[in-house]
Structure 1
Amino acid sequence: MGAIVMMTGVTRLERRLATQLVFDTVNRLGGWIDDTRMYSNLMNTIRLNLPAGAFPAFAEALSGAGITVDVPHDLGGHPEAERMATLQLTFIHDEPDLRREVPAIPG
């Protein structure tokens, strides 16, 4: 297993749709999602695993759906080798910041 592949992406798609597209694409390419962190409605960070040879198809599929992703060109190693990766996905929109109510904890 090599170093973690760090990718960034940007889109104008609605955040839930964009996130689901990433999940579906990873699954279709034989990978899986390890974790997702949502930072308001501005950014998600998705930790995933993919076969090394699937990264170009990953970027191409997302680009065709409206998500621009930068993927390193030469990941080295065997194309079937599993590679851990992160995708920081930024959403471009005019929506206000998403606020969530945090209930008070009785103390």
Structure 2
Amino acid sequence: MLPDTIRLKGFTRENRHEMIDYAAGSISNCSGWVTNHTMYSNKIIVINFEMEVKGVKELIHLLNSNGMTLFEDSLKIIADFPENLVEADKEKEIMGSINITFINDEPDIRIPVPPIPG
């Protein structure tokens, strides 16, 4: 049975700008598209995406390389994912997110919070 969403978590010591580009490019290369992202300082980014089910396994393999390491629960998605997809399911869209933690010695970037009206 196909999951409703996939939630991936990983970390890297690589340059955050290059890794963000790599993650977004990997999503695009696996029949997906980025729908939103949230940057939490220079330590964490969450990228939300949608993609066709046929690209999920390849995306996980791509994200678990090139300097990024996915956590065990993210890799477990591959083991739990159906091996043979029904032809109709390959084109089905699935929502997901990747949470990337950047391990670096840079000081935190302060992101101002806009004032709340009212």
Shorter-chain TM-score bucket reads 0.7 to 0.9
Equivalent positions of 1:28-107 (< 5 A) are 28-69=29-70, 70-71=74-75, 72-73=77-78, 74-76=80-82, 78-100=89-111
The Cα of 1:44 is off from its aligned counterpart by 0.3
Q: How many residues align?
A: 104
Q: Percent identity?
A: 27
Q: CA separation of 1:103/1:48 partners in 2, compared to 1, >3 Å: closer, same or farther? A: closer
TM-score by length of 2: 0.75
User: RMSD between aligned alpha carbons?
Assistant: 2.2
TM-score by length of 1: 0.82
Larger displacement relative to structure 2 (82-91 or 95-104):
95-104
Where in structure 1 are there 5+ consecutive unaligned residues?
none
Which protein has the bigger helix share? 2
Equivalent positions of 1:18-37 (< 5 A) are 18-37=19-38
Q: CA separation of 1:102/1:37 partners in 2, compared to 1, >3 Å: closer, same or farther? A: closer
What code does the residue aligned with 1:11 have?
T
What code does the residue aligned with 2:37 have?
T
SS in 1 for 2:64: helix
